[in-house]
Structure 1
Amino acid sequence: MNRNERIHTMFLKNTIEMSSEEAMGETNSSEMNDNSSSSDKQSPEVQGASKAQSEEVSKMSTLEAECAAAQAKLTETHDRMLRIAADSENMRKRMEREKSETRIYAIQEFAKDLLPVIDAFDKAMSAIELTQINFETEEGKKIAGIVEGVQLVSKVFQDAVRKHGIERLPGKDTPFNPTYHNAIAKVVDSSLKQETVIDEFMAGYKIGDRILRTAMVRVGAPD
């Protein structure tokens, strides 16, 4: 091969190599463009998904806040209803108590007027218990009917008195209480451990929490 042929052969070889390199360069450029294009196409989708996720998180936060507010409101309403119910119950009890007190105390003066009648029945019953009448005789049988009548009337009257809240105060053999007892006499009794009512001259009575009359008593006191 002469010189000219060698030069021509080398020129062709270089031309082929350059063509191959250009072809590979174009291929790489095309692939890069394709990748870039694909990336550009996916970017809005990724951004959309991220935005949707952010919106969901925001909605969840809003719902949680609304639920917390609703729960707080429900708790407040429940507490208010409990207070209203308690106030209503207290008012009902107070009205019932006032109604009862009004009914009881409305007859207070009338109850005081009944005390002499009660005393009269007490004396009559005491006299009957102390009597030595022989009820087997004809005269005794006549008196027995009267006694039974007095006892029956006394029982009915005492029941009616108690029904309207009039109660007898503690009397003989009970601890002395200045609220209940009016001590008109006092004696020393070493057998006693505290001041005690040893005799009752006139019974005391109360209606509800109010004293109608204190009992007149003799008090025994320890040394």
Structure 2
Amino acid sequence: MNPEEVIQNLETRIKELEDSNLRTYADFENTKKRLEREKTQSLEYAYEKIAKDLLPVIDALEMALKSVDDSEITDEIKVKFKEGLSFTLENFLKTLERYGITQIPAEGEFNPQLHECILQAPSEQHQEGEIVQTLQKGYQYKERVLRAALVSVCKH
């Protein structure tokens, strides 16, 4: 092999190694960006499990508030008890909202991504496919549904 061929072979090999190095670096950068995105998303949805666990507490407070009227205590105590429960529930919901946990609106058009239809009922006041009644409130954490709203939908 003459010296020009050796130089040509070495230059070709250097070019191949430079290309390989660039591809490896690009792969590394892409992996780094993907891992950063996954980390950010994991941190963003870190409260999801605890949020799901707190939903029964909201349900219990709402049921307690409704049951006050059915109890056989004096009207004055009923009013005070309802005020206390309402205040507690309101503060609890505001606190959850600060962390991105919100109630799913359950009126108007039925949305299968947010609502679960468990009953169909005729209604003169609603159009077909509209929500007639909310049987259990639904909640979402940022963009993820924690629990779909259980609803009845109008069927003519």
Short-chain TM bin: 0.5 to 0.7
AA in 2 matched with 1:164: Y
CA displacement 1:30-51 (0-9 Å, x = unmatched): xxxxxxxxxxxxxxxxxxxxxx
Large movers: runs of 4+ above 4 Å: 130-134
In structure 1, the residue matched to 2:96 is 161
What is the identity percentage for the equivalent residue pairs of Structure 1 and Structure 2?
26
- Do the aligned partners of 2:123 and 2:132 also contact (CA within 8 Å) in 1? no
Structure 2 unmatched runs, 5+: 1-32
Query: How do 1:53-202 residues align onto structure 2 when only pairs under 5 Å count?
Result: 99=40, 101-128=41-68, 130=69, 139-171=74-106, 173-189=107-123, 192-202=126-136
Structure 1 unmatched runs, 5+: 1-90
Give the CA RMSD over aligned residues.
3.0
- Do the aligned partners of 1:104 and 1:207 also contact (CA within 8 Å) in 2? no
Using the TM superposition, give the Cα deviation of residue 131 of structure 1 relative to its aligned residue in structure 2, in angstroms: 5.5
**Alpha-carbon separation, structure 1, partners of 2:134 and 2:57:** 18
Using the TM superposition, give the Cα deviation of residue 141 of structure 1 relative to its aligned residue in structure 2, in angstroms: 3.3
Structure 1 or 2: more strand by fraction: 2
Q: TM-score, normalising length from structure 1?
A: 0.47
Of the two structures, which has the highest relative contact order with CA contacts closer than 8 Å and spacing of 6 or more?
2
Structure 1 or 2: more helix by fraction: 1
Q: TM-score, normalising length from structure 2?
A: 0.64
**Alpha-carbon separation, structure 1, partners of 2:133 and 2:125:** 16
Q: Rg larger in 1 or in 2?
A: 1
AA in 1 matched with 2:130: T
**Alpha-carbon separation, structure 1, partners of 2:60 and 2:71:** 20
Number of aligned residue pairs = 122
SS at match of 2:45: helix
**Alpha-carbon separation, structure 2, partners of 1:206 and 1:193:** 26
- Do the aligned partners of 1:197 and 1:220 also contact (CA within 8 Å) in 2? yes
